[in-house]
């Protein structure tokens, strides 16, 4: 019995330690660069997809955060700035738990986070997928309403190095 408990404990500890982690160095290829691209989002009122031109600039803030400046040339009132934050030793990014991290053959990094909240007033699970490369950067938000199995893309940012 003691052996079984030891095996179970070691398995649980191994699973905890195997959780994906991010590091500020994962963002080195995208810092200090002007990115030009578009936001595509699903309109709440009619469900149609809308495209808006945008730019992004990222700078290292601390060993656990990246400052961003998001601009919309044709909608300057929507411009924003803030921080992307690594939390809990890199196992969380922007309050979402890092659930996957992998590198593509071209060297770009793709990682996904999961968090919960409300979308359109409904309890939901959010999946944010980021792809960071030397010449391209993208991130998308997928929503899964509680009690359903299907996800849909709420918004997606796609950028190219300017």
The model's pTM: 0.85
Q: Superfamily assignment of 20-161 in CATH? A: Calycin beta-barrel core domain (2.40.128.20)
Burial of 119 (0-12, 13-18, 19+ CB in 10 A): middle
Q: What's the average pLDDT block by block, 10 residues per block, for the chain (162 residues)?
A: 43 53 93 96 91 97 95 96 96 96 94 97 97 95 96 96 89
CA distance 31 to 29: 6
- The domain limits of the chain are 20-161
């Amino acid at each position: 019995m003691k052996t079984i408990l030891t095996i179970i404990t070691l398995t649980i500890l191994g699973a905890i330690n195997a959780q994906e982690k991010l590091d500020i160095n994962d963002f080195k290829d995208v810092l200090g660069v002007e990115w030009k691209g578009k936001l595509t989002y699903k309109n709440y009122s009619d469900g149609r997809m809308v495209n808006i031109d945008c730019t992004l600039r990222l700078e290292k803030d601390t060993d656990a955060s990246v400052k961003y400046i998001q601009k919309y040339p044709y909608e300057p009132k929507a411009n924003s700035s803030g921080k992307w934050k690594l939390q809990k030793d890199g196992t969380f990014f922007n309050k979402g738990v890092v659930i996957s991290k992998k590198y593509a053959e071209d060297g770009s990094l793709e990682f996904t986070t999961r968090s919960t909240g409300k979308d359109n007033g409904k309890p939901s699970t959010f999946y944010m997928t980021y792809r960071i490369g030397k010449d391209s950067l993208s991130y998308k938000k997928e929503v899964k309403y509680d009690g359903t199995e299907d996800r849909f893309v709420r918004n997606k940012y796609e950028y190219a190095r300017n």
